[in-house]
Amino acid sequence: MNMEINELNDELRDEYDFASMKGGVRGKYARQYHEGVKLIMLEPDVAKIFPDAKSVNEALRSLAKIIQPGRMGTASSCPRRIVK
């Protein structure tokens, strides 16, 4: 796609001088980025409860402590009930 530069619609500031930048490689770190990122789509009803990544991560960590107490924390951190 051949795009024509329109000087009137140029919104970049004058201090951005891309002519002096040499050697940029498109997608240079794309593989490393994709290996470290897990994107999960939330259903709308769940997204209302968990509006951001921080709240989702906190909830999942709390759940993981309950499910796998030995992996996420110490066994003593889980409350135990003594039944007589």
The per-residue pLDDT for range 5-59, each reduced to its tens digit, is 555 677 777 787 777 777 788 898 898 888 888 888 999 999 999 999 999 999 9
Residue 2: per-residue pLDDT: 52
Query: Could you give the 3-state DSSP secondary structure of residue 3?
Result: coil
Domain positions in the chain: 42-71
Residue 3: per-residue pLDDT: 59
How far apart are the C-alpha atoms of 60 and 68, rounded to whole Å? 12
Mean pLDDT of 56-82: 75
What tokens appear for 9 in the block?
């619609």
Query: Do 65 and 78 contact (CB within 8 A), yes or no?
Result: yes
pTM over 0.75: no
73: exposed, middle or buried (Cβ count in 10 Å: 0-12, 13-18, 19+)? middle
